Structure 1
Amino acid sequence: MSRFVNMSDEIVGIAENEMLISGRSLAGQIEFWAKIGRAIERSPQFSYERIKAALSAQIAYDDLTFQEQEVFHEELTEALWAEPGTATKTLYAQLTGPGLDENGKTIFPGDQS
């Protein structure tokens, strides 16, 4: 059964470049990557839970395997470049001065409204 899935232009572009090299279709390339990712996550030498624990400073980075460290770096990079959420923006505004809430309203440190 086929389904349509929205994907970022960046991932689709990378998959399009890779499919030219691999000889797979676009869908085939993305499915191939999904199968690899699934296999890695199920590997006894790899634990995504450990990566999440390291990202939240619950375990040391040095305790991760080499493969886990690679994914840790990818996740950290993505998080650093991601748009902060409303809670983070609100906290930052409260700590640094006036800011905007999720409705675009100016908020000031200590505002409870």
Structure 2
Amino acid sequence: MPRTVKISDEMIHLAENERLISGRSLANQIEHWARIGRTIEQSPAFNYERIKAALTAQIAYDDLTFEEQEVYLEELGEALWAEPDAKTKALYAQLTGPGVNKNDKM
């Protein structure tokens, strides 16, 4: 059941900026941070920077701890289901639009 919670203007501002990057709604961005925070609190050895590194292929998924892998998979799932941003849509339209030779596509 949805509830109203007071959150500082600073935190709302941070979440609004991050949601623009992630493509989440404001509520989903705050819930996402809450899940990450909960996971971190439950595991003192947890390092979110390692998850970001794995998501950008800087380190291997197998090098993450079990807890880190859980968050990695959640992040990956959200990214796969997210609505593409305008820049991605424009690039796709350019690559698949009229006048593009289908044999030249990647």
Look up the match of 1:93: 93
Are 1:3 and 2:6 an aligned pair? yes
Which fold has the larger relative contact order, with Cα–Cα distance below 8 Å and residues 6 or more apart in sequence?
Answer: 2
Counterpart-to-counterpart distance in 2, 1:37 and 1:91: 31
Name the Cα RMSD after superposition.
3.0
Counterpart-to-counterpart distance in 2, 1:44 and 1:97: 49
Distance 1:58 1:67, change over 3 A: same
Counterpart-to-counterpart distance in 2, 1:83 and 1:39: 26
Look up the match of 1:84: 84
Look up the match of 2:53: 53
Counterpart-to-counterpart distance in 2, 1:79 and 1:90: 18
Q: Could you tell me which runs of 5 or more consecutive residues in structure 2 were left unpaired when the two chains were aligned.
A: 13-25, 101-106
Distance 1:37 1:94, change over 3 A: closer
Whose helix proportion is higher, 1 or 2? 2
Look up the match of 1:64: 64
Look up the match of 1:40: 39
TM-score (norm 2): 0.56
Counterpart-to-counterpart distance in 2, 1:37 and 1:72: 10
Counterpart-to-counterpart distance in 1, 2:89 and 2:52: 22
Structure 1 residue ranges (4+ consecutive) displaced by more than 6 angstroms after TM superposition: none
Amino acid at match of 1:40: T
Shift of 1:75: 0.5
Aligned residues: 75
Counterpart-to-counterpart distance in 1, 2:83 and 2:94: 18
Higher CA-based Rg: 1
Shift of 1:39: 5.3
* 1:52-91 deviations in Å (ceiling 9; x for gaps): 1111111111111111001011011111111000111111
Counterpart-to-counterpart distance in 2, 1:38 and 1:79: 19
Shift of 1:37: 4.2
Give percent identity, aligned residues only: 62
